[in-house]
Amino acid sequence: MENFAQNITNMPILVLAFVGDSVFDLYVRSHLALNALGKVNILHKKAVSLVNASAQAKLLSSIKDKLTPEELAIYNRGKNAKSVAAPHVNPKDYSIATGLEALLGVLYLKGENDRINELFAAIINDKL
């Protein structure tokens, strides 16, 4: 298990964000499926409205003050990573979203699902 933790530490931050993007998407869709009434197309539209750089940047404010120093360092690494946003995306929002996704990727790969649940609960209570 120690090697696995070392692999996570050595992974490029954008690879961790790649994983975290899916984690966030899964949590949002799971929450909507479990708590929302409506047809799939309505759930899909709601998910799309939440799983994008602009929405994620806004949602980060719900948890930023709850992050540990280690988590904040991971977030900052992701936020400061050199990546290219799509032309229709605000680059600042994209950077913030990448930081959030990197954090979620690390937590997920480390098996810290309780911590993801805790952070996601703060997001849900504040915005969803």
- Active-site annotation, residues: 21
Virtual torsion, Cα 5, 73, 69, 114, nearest 10 deg? -50
Tokens of 54: 């602009």
DSSP sequence for 38-69: S-HHHHHHHHHHHSSHHHHHHHHTTTGGG--H
Residues in the chain: 128
